[in-house]
Structure formats: structure tokens, C-alpha cells
Structure 1
């Protein structure tokens, strides 16, 4: 009887545990778990309510801040990094919230959920599940501030072009090419005055954020996630000109804003933090201010999303700071050839993302009149060097009311995006991220690991190329004799890949640094620029 009794109790316990596990809320790894709480406060809910939660499992704990979401709703969001049961306990100065506990079950991520993007192998990126991530991004600064129809068009365009990152501003943009007035603003409005010209002048209540503004931003970030696009969020920018004053907020307001947006968005797996676009044009902030604001973002992001800061042309911040995960720069010089970006990698020992090398377009300004061929060429130069280059487009064909994808979003009118999409498919099919094989002496050849090479001829035009590869292959084992390869010709503009007949076999011919084909075979090339070769070992 005793054994039977104990066995029965064990069965009951197992059944109860099974019931609770089934009834418990389930959240995918790297997705959001959200706690929603209701409370009506007499004072200012943004200032007066303190709210956070400790999430923990058997060996890890995260402390996450909550936020006020309007309509007497307070929320705490958490992104679980590992599968299994997660417990939480709430801390708050609101008695009914304080010490409240709960738990949820984190289940394995679905096949399309790869998690956050992180730095990998010093110079590159991977998703949390180990899948390589190659940023092929574009710029649409103010797209979330446009009309809803245009925003929807932007999402369709991003998906069609297969971009996987978009640079976008949190605050609206006031520029001579971008004058649209947003429907909603990040702060509560105290007063609006309008002059004779119809210009609006706002007085803000900086003690109250506008939850509706951030809810809309969140919706768009989730929309980007559905099409596998990373939201590279620009937290500050200089394009205000006194219209709203968001570029010259007091430091304490900037800190409150950053604490609020990180509480809301850190649990979104497809978010990157860009402290600023052209930081050195924001006159109201010093380098010390930027350092302090960067620390606020990093301190309040428990998951350590990617974080950088972007300057005006060739204005390099102190990217050696540990807060910055990668180098985000505006500079055309490193991609005028196929090796200068590789030198930057060696200097900073971080991923190099050239987030503005100029834009394809027809503007009079030098930064906005790259030909589509030139834009494509610059992207290839950066990628061959083991760096990453952001696309952008600024065409005006009809009137001043034309939309610019670079700021407004909408549809793409140019041609380089098609070639960049083609390049993305080629790089994603390679076994590993690229690096220059012999950076000091070979200015054309990149490697994707053992037995896999790319050669990019750029603007050079040749009738033929004698098969040859450097012995050096970065830090990998040197190339040996009697290795057999096949060659494919990539027309980067016409987007074709042509197999070269025959097999090529390495042999020492002229010196100790390069290996040629044992029969000194040559490859007949199209007599045109922007040709590349893909050279792969035959096993």
C-alpha cells in the first residue's frame, strides 16, 4: 500500500506539472514576453512610477525596466535568450505591483527566427543561432513619419529589393529636401502657435512622452522584422533647424528619452542603436555628451544590441570604445579601391560598416549624384575588403514634391539596388565572410575560406587574365601546389554568372608568393568594367 500510495502521488504531481506547463504562456526564444499592468496614478506616471522586473532561470538573471504606455497601462518587456522556464519578480513603488511573481516557458525558435545580430569573429556578424548575417542595407531616414500609404510602399520596396537593414531616424527630419510635417510627435504638446506663413511652433512638455508615437514606431519595427530587416535606429540627428528643437534638448531630457526608448525597444530583436547621424553637426552636444548618452543606452539595454555612432564625412569617432560594437562611418575614400576598408578593419579590430559613401541619384550636390554603376562598384569594393556598404538613392525626376527614398521611402527609381541584391545572393552563397588574402600586395583577391576566392577587377578593362592566386590566404593555411579549381565570370552589372570551361591546377611558376596554372592557362574576359571572378576548389 505504501508503494502504491507514493506512486499515485508521483503520478498526480507529474500530471499537475504537465497541466501547468501546458497552461503556461509560451514565448519563442528571442521573441518578446510582455507583462501588462493597470494602475491609475494621481501624479505623472512617467516620473512618479518606478517599475522593473528581474527575470531569471537556473543560471542567468536580467533586470529589465518597465515603462508607461498610456491609458493607465504599464508594461515590462523581456527577450529570453535561452529555452526553458523563466521566472520573474517585479519591483515597484506601487504596492500592488511590488513583489508580484510569475513565469513563462521559452520554447525553441521557429525556423525563420534567428535571433539578434551580434558581432562574430571580430570583423563580421552572426545571428544568435549562428547563421551568418551580411548587412546589405539602405537608408530611409524619415519613412515612418510619412503618410501611411507611403510607409506601406516602403515596406514592399524593402522586401522586393531584399535589403536586410535600414537606417532610420526616431525623430522627424527637417531638411530642404524633406519638409513633411509628421502626424504624431515623441513628446506631449503644451502649445502650438502658427505664424502668417502657416509655420507651426511647438512648446513641449518634456515630462511626458507620447506613447502613441512610440507605439507606431514599434509597429513599423515589427513590420521590418517580418521581412527580415534590421532597424538601425538613429537616436539623434542635426536635421531640425529649430523647427521642433529635438536636436537641442537639455541633457536631462535626452537621458529620459533614451531610458524610455530602451525600456520599450530593447526587447525587439531586430534593433540596432545608432547614437547619431553626423554627430559632429549636432551643435548642442559635445563629445562628452555623446559619451554619456552612449553609456545610458548600453547600460539600459540588457541584451547588448549592436551600437555605434555615425559622423560627417571622414569624421571618425573613438570607435575603440567598448560601448561601440562596430564602426559606422560616412566616407567614400575607403571604397575607392578594394583594400582601404580592409586597412580600417586592421586598425579598429571591429566590423566596418560604411553607412554612407554617397548616394545614387541626380542631385546637384556631390553626395547625391553617384551613377548606378559607381554605387554598385563602391559596394563591391567594400565587400571584397571584408567590410559592408550601405546603399542610398536620391532621384528627382519631376517636381520638388518627388519622394526621395533616402528620406521618405516609397519606391526605388534607380538601378544599383538590383545589382546589390545580386551581390547579396552571391555573398550569402559563399561558405564564410570575406577577407583580403594578402592585403599589402594583392589588391583584387578576397577569400571566403579554404579553396574559395573572389577576384574583382573593378573599373579595369582586360581581355584576359592569367590564372593565378596568392599563396597567402589571410591567417589560414597557405595555398599549395596541385590544387584544382573551377572559374566563373561574374558580370556585376549585367548580373550574369558564366562558367569558364576547363580545370585549373596550381603550380609554382615565377616566384614564391603566387601560384599559377601548371599550363599557364588564361581566362578570356569580357572587354568591359565591373567584372569579377569566383574561383572554387574542385574536391
Structure 2
């Protein structure tokens, strides 16, 4: 190794300082991607033998950003400026031609739909973009869409462009039939004939193109780093050193894109070659490697990871029954003490597998129960169609044919006008089946029940505000909102609740999938407005 490295340094010395940086932009938007490209050595193994980073400075702010080798003698450093203003940079490397390069650029104010990366809100249980705009997660899973043909990827993006989904879970290592399957350089024709020390830059260029295209649609890319479904290839069963190299490489390539999230594992406990200490270690490697501090989670089959660990930003759960009721879902927040996304709750579809045969009604119901529990829920579908080798959007993307997406789009319109930072569970222990913001805004969900009336009671103690409310009847399946005539003025009913003694009940349509939206009357015109959004 030492002799190879010496040869590389000697070769680089002959190039000396003639290897200036390629032209870099003079400015980039805050939270955009500023890229430095440098010409350097191609001999030996640049992935292992060349170190490169750049130090970015603006005032008292100093950020060290790792670089990566992109093949054909090109090295890159990508940085997403967290603040506006002037930034200077200088490179550091063990190769003379790559070290000591300098430059400056201006980070300008963001424009259009650039709200910055998504972060967890200060309360710890919800999400917002960096500029404070609420992020109401309506996610989907499409594992290997990014590795399909260009035509299939284009079809998936077209589908997403008119969908309600603002986050998409996607694997780096494909888990179903795909066109692009080799993240590492091939050394032969066998499944295990690849070199973990040498990445295939073309594979990763293709993948990051998909990340960028999702970003242009306003969709977060929840990138799955490992999963148990490539046993023949063995990508998730590498040595610790190879895992570390892989994590550092993908972080250097992808973390500057503001729509990137990290999912360390999908069904992580199905990977039997790793133990809990390995996962903890890899999270620490990722946290140290990512100067942009993107969101980080891990997804289970049966064994729940301890999401209270400091490198976890939010909890990702798989559980098909946890969102059959808000009282089942809400304790997961207590366990994690962080924002919760039920990324997998079984899927809408016609699969013979029990995890892929929900009706659209059953999936939408899970979203509503999860919502009023103060959590978030994920979608996918597993419908078989001719020509689909894995039989689903879940694996390869393409078109959505299920009945749930329009209803999830309708749910999103409800959430977009709800209080910030998000819906909070309200007296879950007492089966109120209600979430919102106490004394301001409530969602009451009835699920598959078909009541013809509801006794109008709101939780409250004697010293709590006794406000006046309007009520809307929401048909979550037929996507209608029907205002109830008049208002309800609260007074004390008992030690724990308020009611309107003149209007004790709300008449309901006796149908499934009904919700109520109860909003405090404010303003001179008697119409409720969201003070958090005004």
C-alpha cells in the first residue's frame, strides 16, 4: 500500500499546480449545491489512496467537507451553504495537485420552492423545512425505481409529479430486478465478483441524477443504505472497513443535496451478519462523515432499534397494526421520544402476501389514525400488472393504480391548514380519538364506525378557555367537507370536559371514514384562521 501511494504522489507531483480547479460558480442559493471539481491522479486506487476535503469559511462559521473521486481523474467536493453571504474555501489533500486550491463564492437568498432541508421541529415530534415552513410527511416507498431504465424512471417521475407524496424511500442496492445493479467495479461474472474498494462512478452519477430530479419535484429522497434482500450479491454483508468506506463515499456524494435523508437499514434486523454494535458504529461513522447533518433513521422487521440514541433524528417503524387505532400508535412517540414515521404499515394491493393486500380504504384509515396520534404514515402499493417483474410500484415504480393516493392528497390539504408544528394526540388514554391543538383545533376520527351522531365534548378543566367553535364534517373517502350550520359555545360539563348545553350533539351521516374538524372561531368575521400560518 505504501509503495502504491508513493507512486501516486510522484505521478501527481509531475502534474504539480497545473491541475487548477475547473470553473466553479460565482454564486449559489442558500441550501443549493456548490461544487468544486479538480483534476487529479487516476492510477492506483484513488478511492482508497487519495484523501480530499475542503474547508468552507463564512465569518465565524467553518465547515469541513469531504470530497470524493468521480472517475476519469476527476475529484469533487460538494457543499450546501447553510447561510447567505460570502464563503471562501481551501482544499486539503495528500496529493499535491489537489491540495491548496482556493476560491470564493456568494450564497444568495433562496428562491421559489427552496425552503432548505427538512429538520425535526424544536418540540421533537414534527418536521419543518429550515426556513420554518411546515413539512407534513405523506411518504411512499419505491425501493429500486432509481435503478430501472431511463424510460421507467421517467414514468415514475411523471407519476410522482401529480401525486401527494413528498418523501420517497429508495434503496442504493437494488432489491428487485433492475437495469443498473453494480455500485462496485466488477471483477468477473459471478454474483460476488466485485471489488468493495472500488466504486463504479457511473452507477452513482445515475443515482444522484434521480435524487436531483426528486428534489426538483419537492420530494425528499429517503436513501436506504443497507437491506437484507441482496444475499446473492452480498452488498449488505461487507466487512466493517468496507461498510465504512461505502458510507463515507455516499455521504460525500449525496449529502449536499438538501432533499436527502438517510435510512441506515431497511428491515435492518434481517441482516444477520451485523449485530447492534455494528449498527451503532455505522451511525457514528455516518454522523461524522456528513457535514450537512441530514436526517437519520433505521427501519425494522421485528426488533425495534433504540431510537433514543443521539444519532437518530426520528423514528422509522414497520408495524401493520400500530395504526389501526390512535391509542396504539401514540405510545410509539413515548418510546422513541422523537418524531415517528410508520414507514411501513402493509401496502394497498392485490398481492397474495398478507403485507401487500390492503384495500385503499384500509390504507387511508391507517393514515388518519396515525395522524391524530401525532405520528406520520407511509404508503406503497403492490398491485400485479402484466410486464412488471416484481409486480408492484413498491419495487420498480412506474404508474400508481391504487385508490388511496387521491385520498392521501385530500388528507394533505387538511394538514396544510392545520396548526404548526403538527397534530398532537389529545387524551389518547381516554379514547377521545382526537388530535390537534387544545382549545384551538381538533380532528376527531371515527374510522370504520358509522355513527349517526356524536356527543360534542372537548377535554377541559374549569380554568381552561371555553371557546366557540365551528365544525366541519369530513368524508375522508369521498373527499368532501360539509360545514355544520352555526357555532358551538363551550361551557363546563364536568370536571374533565366542556360542551355546549344548547347543542349537545353533532348529527353525522352514518357512514364509514368520517372525521370532524373543530376549529375555534376567531377574528371579526367569525371565521377561524390559523394563527401559526398568519
TM-score normalised to structure 2 length: 0.90
With 245-254 and 224-233 compared, the bigger mean Cα shift is at 245-254
- The aligned runs of 1:90-489 (5 Å cut-off) are 90-120=91-121, 121-173=123-175, 178=176, 180-193=177-190, 201-242=191-232, 244-313=233-302, 315-398=303-386, 401=389, 403-432=391-420, 433-448=422-437, 450-471=439-460, 479-481=464-466, 483-489=467-473
Deviation at 1:449, TM superposition (A): 5.4
> Any stretches of 5+ residues in structure 2 without a counterpart?
1-23, 523-534
With 229-238 and 513-522 compared, the bigger mean Cα shift is at 513-522
Match of 2:514 among 526, 531, 534: 531
Structure-2 separation of matches of 1:44 and 1:478: 71
Structure-2 separation of matches of 1:134 and 1:521: 33
Deviation at 1:304, TM superposition (A): 1.1
Residue aligned with 1:132, SS: coil
Residue aligned with 1:188, SS: strand
CA contact 2:471–2:518 (8 Å) conserved in 1: yes
CA contact 2:307–2:336 (8 Å) conserved in 1: yes
Residue aligned with 1:172, SS: coil
Structure-2 separation of matches of 1:380 and 1:326: 20
Structure 1 residues 76 and 478, CA, compared in 2 at 3 Å: closer, same or farther?
farther
The Cα offsets for residues 44-83 of structure 1, whole Å up to 9 and x where unpaired, read as 2112211111111111111111110011100011110000
1:54 corresponds to 2:37: no
Match of 1:520 among 490, 495, 503: 503
Structure-1 separation of matches of 2:127 and 2:160: 21
Residue aligned with 1:389, SS: strand
Cross-structure match for 1:504:
488
Structure-2 separation of matches of 1:129 and 1:360: 34
Structure 1 residues 344 and 305, CA, compared in 2 at 3 Å: closer, same or farther?
same
Cross-structure match for 1:83:
84
Structure-2 separation of matches of 1:292 and 1:439: 36
> Any stretches of 5+ residues in structure 1 without a counterpart?
1-22, 194-200
Off by >6 Å, runs of 4+ in structure 1 = none
Structure 1 residues 76 and 419, CA, compared in 2 at 3 Å: closer, same or farther?
same
Deviation at 1:290, TM superposition (A): 1.1
The Cα offsets for residues 300-327 of structure 1, whole Å up to 9 and x where unpaired, read as 01121100111104x2101111000011
Deviation at 1:184, TM superposition (A): 4.8
Deviation at 1:461, TM superposition (A): 1.2
1:30 corresponds to 2:31: yes
Residue aligned with 1:488, SS: strand
CA contact 2:390–2:396 (8 Å) conserved in 1: no
Deviation at 1:469, TM superposition (A): 1.0
Structure-1 separation of matches of 2:390 and 2:174: 18
Residue aligned with 2:322, SS: helix
Q: How many residues align?
A: 497
Structure-2 separation of matches of 1:437 and 1:172: 41
Aligned-residue CA RMSD in angstroms? 1.7
Deviation at 1:399, TM superposition (A): 6.8
Residue aligned with 1:446, SS: strand
